[in-house]
Amino acid sequence: MKFTDGYWQNLPGVDILRPRAVDEVVVGERGLTAYAGVRRLETRGDSLNHPLVTITLDSPAEGVLGVTIEHHQGGVERGPAFAVADARPDVVVTGPTADDPRAALTTGNLTARVATTGEWALDVEVDGRVVTGATSRGVGIVTDADGRQFVREQLALGVRDHVYGLGERFTAFVKNGQAVDVWNADGGTSSEQAYKNVPFYLTDAGYGVFVDHPGHVSFEVGSEVVSRTQFSVEGQRMRYYVIAGPDPKDVLRRYTALTGRPARVPDWSYGLWLSTSFTTDYDEQTVTSFVDGMAERGLPLSVFHFDCFWMRRFHWSDFVWDPATFPDPEGMLARLHERGLRVCVWINPYIAQRSHLFAEGRERGYLVTRADGSVWQWDLWQAGMALVDFTNPDAVAWYQGELRALLDMGVDCFKTDFGERIPTDVVWHDGSDPERMHNYYTHLYNKAVFDLLTEVRGEGEAVLFARSATAGGQQFPVHWGGDCESTFVSMAESLRGGLSLASSGFGFWSHDIGGFEGTPDAAVFKRWLAFGMLSSHSRLHGSGSYRVPWAFDEESVKVTQRFTELKLSLMPYLSAVGREAHTDGLPAMRPMVLEFPDDPGAATVDTQYLLGSSVLVAPVFSAEGDVDVYVPEGEWTSLLDGSRVRGPRWHRQRHGFDSLPVLVRPGTVLPVGARTDRPDYDHAEGVTLRLFGLADGHESVTRVARPSGREAVFRVTRSGDRVRAEATGDVPGAWAVAHGLGAPVAASGAVLEVPAT
C-alpha cells in the first residue's frame, strides 16, 4: 500500500511513526529486543506522551532471521496463522563491544546487526556480506486518512538485485518496479490478480523474505522507494523472516523447511491427462470415443478427467453423477481402469442451494454464516451457493465423507477448483479473522481433500489438480495455472506464472495445453503441446471446445505422440526431479536464475526454464517457429537432434512444430527409460545413461528408483579418454551407456568402459 507522496512527504491524512531514537536493546539468550522512540530522547520528560516501536529479533531455523515489529501489544491474535516450523537452532546473541557499538544475532551463515543508540538500523549479512537492511525511515507504524493502522517495513535493494516470486503472478517475472497485493482472486492469467498469492519473495542477492501474515499483504518492489522493497499489513504487529542463501536454491530449501515441502507424487501423474473440457457436450459415449481415439492413434494416455458437468447443472457441488449422461458411473470407471487409466473428477468447495447438501449443511452448521446467523450466499458461479466452513472439524469430516464415496466408486484424484472468492463479511466457526481467512481458506480446502486422498490411497499416491493456494499450499500438489486464453501471448504469460510460483516454493505446476478460453488455432495448439509435455504435469483441457489432438489437424496427432513419448522416456530423470522437490523443496520447473544465480544473462530470462537441473526448455511462441534461447556457459547439446550450441550468449533458431530447443547441460549423465507407453514402469529396467559433455575428471552418481522402493545406482567417472560406469544397488538384468553412436549393454553389477570424445 502506498503511504508517501514522493520521497519527502506523506500522502494527505497519513501519519507515520518511525523508530528515530533507540532507547535500549535488551539482549537475551535466544534473541534481542529493541525499544525505540519516535522522537529524540534528550531529557526524562521526552518519554512522556511518546510512542515506542518495539522490534524483536530471533531465529526459528538455522540461517533464518525472525523480525517482529510492534506498536501496541495488547490486541487479540485471531487465527488463522501459517504453520511455521520452529527448530530452535543454535544462535549467538551479543551486545555492543568496544569495536562494534551494535548488538548482533547470528544463526547459521546469517548475522543481523542492530543499532543500540541513535536511529534504528538493521544490517543483514550472509556469509559476512551485507545483503539487505532497514533504517528508521523504512520501519513505520502508519495511520491512514481513514484511521486504519498498518505496520510497514522497507528492506534495501542493491544496484543489480532482482526480486522474484510472490506467488503465481502473470506479470513480468522480475518484480522490480511492481506493486503487488497478496490477495487471492479469480482474475484469469491476463491480469495483475493471482489465484495463488504467497507473501514470500526470492532474490538473487543471497536472501529471501517471508511475511508471516495469511491475510492481505501489500508489496511495493522498488516502486514506492526505488531502492527498497516495501511490505505492509494492517494492524499493530508484523512478523517477517529474512532467509539466507547464499544461492536462491539454498533460500528455497530453508523456506520450504519452514512452511512445508511438496508431498511425493505418483509416477502415473506425470503422464498425459485428457479432459472432457468445461462447457462442451459430453457423456460416456463421448468419453469412450476420446479414449478409443487416443489408443487408435498410438497416443499414450494416463489420466482421464471429468470436468464440472459430470454433476447436474445448478447442483454443484453435490457429488452425484448426472444420471442422464452417466447412468452407470461405477461401470464406466471400472471400464476406464481396465484400460490402464486413472480418473480425476472436478470439485469445488461451494454448495449450491439446489444441492441436497445445502439443507443438510445449513441444518448442521457446516456452512459459513453472516453475523446474524444466516448462511452467506450469492449467485455468482452457482445459484444461491454457500461455502463449506473448513474451520469446523465436523464440516471437514462431512465434506470428506462425500468425497470418500467417490473414491470407493473408483475415482482416483480430484481437481480442486476455485477457493479464491472468499468474503470478509462473515463469521467463521472457530472465530477466525475474516480478513486473514480470505487467502487461507484455500489451504484448508486443499488440505482436507489431500488428507483424505493420503488416507485412502496412501502416501505417494495422493495428487490434486489445484487452482488456488497460499504459503504452505505447496504441500498439496499439483497446481495448475488457471484460465488462460488460447494465444501465444497467453502461453507466455502462463509460463511467467509458473516461474513465479516455482520461485515461491511450489514444486509441481501445470497449465491448460492450448489455452482454456477460446479455441486455439492449430499452430498455437502444437507449440503449446511441446511446452505442456515438457512441464512437470501435462493436461489437455479447454472451456467450450474439445482438446483431442485430431480436432486440430493430423500433424497435431504426430506432435502429441512425439512429445508424450519423449516425456515418458525421461521418467527415470523426471521421477528423480520430483523426489528432489519432495526432499529439498526445489521445483521441477526452474527459472534460469535458480540454477545460474551468478550469470547476469540469466537473471531476467522468463521465456524458458530448466526441467530439473540439467534440461533447458525454450517454448516456441510463434507459428513460424522463431525462438530466442539464452544458453549459459559451456557447450549444450540438443536432446532432439544432437546439435550443439555454446554459451554464454543468446541464439536465434527456427523450429518446426515437432521441435523446440531442448538442451542438455554439459556434464550431465541423463538416464533415459526403455518405455514410451506409460510413465509408471520400472525405470531402471533397460535404462540408458546418455552422457553429455563429461569433462576429464568428471565424477557423478545417478540414482534410478525402482517399484520395489530401492534404487539402481550408477557411478560415472571420466579419466583421460575413457568413461567408466559402475552399477550398484538394485540393478536390473541389463543397462546401457549411450555414447556417440554406440549403446553397449552390460550385465547387472558390471563395470562398463566406453571411449570419451
Q: What is the DSSP string of 133-182?
A: EEETTT-EEEE-TTS-EEEEEEEE--TT--EEEEES--S-SS-TT-EEEE
Residue 118 vs residues 23, 40, 137, 140: alpha-carbon distances, Å: 8, 8, 13, 16
Grade residue 77 by pLDDT with cuts at 50, 70 and 90: confident
- The residue to which cell 515489529 is assigned: 69
State the amino acid at position 417 in one-letter form: D
Residue 3 vs residues 6, 8, 153, 216: alpha-carbon distances, Å: 9, 11, 12, 16
d(CA 208, CA 544): 41
d(CA 661, CA 640): 8
Q: What is the pLDDT of residue 741?
A: 43
- Residue 138 grid coordinates: 523504512
615-639: per-residue pLDDT in tens? 999 999 999 999 999 999 999 999 9
Q: Measured between alpha carbons, how far apart are the two ends of the chain, in Å? A: 58
β-strand partners of 303: 273, 342
Range 337-363 average pLDDT: 98
Give 675's contacts (C-beta < 8 A, 6+ positions apart). Answer: 568, 569, 681, 686
- Residue 241 grid coordinates: 523472516
- The residue to which cell 476406464 is assigned: 336
Range 680-698 average pLDDT: 95
State the amino acid at position 432 in one-letter form: S
In 100-142, alpha helices (H): none
Do 653 and 671 meet the contact criterion of CB atoms below 8 Å apart?
A: no
Please tell me whether residue 740 adopts helix, strand or coil conformation.
Answer: coil
Q: What is the pLDDT of residue 386?
A: 98
Grade residue 727 by pLDDT with cuts at 50, 70 and 90: very high
d(CA 142, CA 224): 15
Grade residue 744 by pLDDT with cuts at 50, 70 and 90: low
d(CA 705, CA 713): 9
Q: Would you give the DSSP letter of residue 695? A: P
Q: What is the pLDDT of residue 515?
A: 98
Q: What is the pLDDT of residue 111?
A: 98
Q: Would you give the DSSP letter of residue 577? A: H
Give 472's contacts (C-beta < 8 A, 6+ positions apart). Answer: 82, 83, 259, 260, 443
Share of the chain above pLDDT 90, in %: 94
Residue 620 CB-density burial (10 A; 0-12 exposed, 13-18 middle, 19+ buried): buried
Grade residue 176 by pLDDT with cuts at 50, 70 and 90: very high
State the amino acid at position 730 in one-letter form: D
Grade residue 745 by pLDDT with cuts at 50, 70 and 90: low
Q: What is the pLDDT of residue 753?
A: 79
State the amino acid at position 446 in one-letter form: N
**Which residues are identified as catalytic?**
417, 420, 483
- Residue 425 grid coordinates: 463479511
Q: What is the pLDDT of residue 137?
A: 93
Share of the chain above pLDDT 70, in %: 98
Range 154-167 average pLDDT: 98
Range 313-334 average pLDDT: 97
Range 298-311 average pLDDT: 98
DSSP 3-state percent helix, strand, coil across the chain (nearest 5)? 20, 35, 45
- Residue 326 grid coordinates: 452417466
pLDDT over threshold 60, residue 115: yes
pLDDT over threshold 90, residue 464: yes
Grade residue 750 by pLDDT with cuts at 50, 70 and 90: low
In 585-648, alpha helices (H): 592-595
- Residue 7 grid coordinates: 520521497
Do 383 and 354 meet the contact criterion of CB atoms below 8 Å apart?
A: yes
Q: What is the pLDDT of residue 735?
A: 83
Q: What is the pLDDT of residue 354?
A: 97
| Antiparallel, parallel or unpaired: β 668-672 and 699-705 | unpaired
Q: What is the pLDDT of residue 42?
A: 86
- The residue to which cell 499452430 is assigned: 523
Longest dimension (CA), the chain: 89
State CA 1 to chain mean position distance: 25
d(CA 83, CA 446): 15
Do 537 and 510 meet the contact criterion of CB atoms below 8 Å apart?
A: yes
d(CA 388, CA 394): 11
Do 82 and 37 meet the contact criterion of CB atoms below 8 Å apart?
A: no
The beta strand positions in 544-667, using DSSP E, are: 589-590, 609-611, 615-617, 626-638, 644-654, 662-664
Range 489-503 average pLDDT: 98
DSSP string of 223-248? SSSTTEEEEEEESSEEEEEEEE-SSH
Residue 320 vs residues 311, 324, 395, 470: alpha-carbon distances, Å: 6, 12, 19, 29
pLDDT over threshold 70, residue 748: no
Do 110 and 65 meet the contact criterion of CB atoms below 8 Å apart?
A: yes
Grade residue 365 by pLDDT with cuts at 50, 70 and 90: very high
State CA 486 to chain mean position distance: 23
Grade residue 739 by pLDDT with cuts at 50, 70 and 90: low
Do 287 and 310 meet the contact criterion of CB atoms below 8 Å apart?
A: no
Q: What is the pLDDT of residue 99?
A: 87
Q: What is the pLDDT of residue 737?
A: 87
Grade residue 41 by pLDDT with cuts at 50, 70 and 90: confident
pLDDT over threshold 70, residue 108: yes
d(CA 388, CA 691): 53
Mean pLDDT of the chain: 96
Question: Higher-confidence residue: 283 or 754?
Answer: 283
- The residue to which cell 501459517 is assigned: 82
pLDDT over threshold 60, residue 146: yes
**69 phi and psi angles, rounded to 5 deg:** -110, 125
Number of H helices, E strands in the chain: 11, 45
Residue 97 CB-density burial (10 A; 0-12 exposed, 13-18 middle, 19+ buried): exposed
Q: What is the pLDDT of residue 746?
A: 67
Q: What is the pLDDT of residue 755?
A: 80
- Cis preceding linkage at 393, omega within 30: no
Do 636 and 663 meet the contact criterion of CB atoms below 8 Å apart?
A: yes
State the amino acid at position 59 in one-letter form: S
Of 247-256, 483-492, 731-740, the range with the lowest mean pLDDT is: 731-740
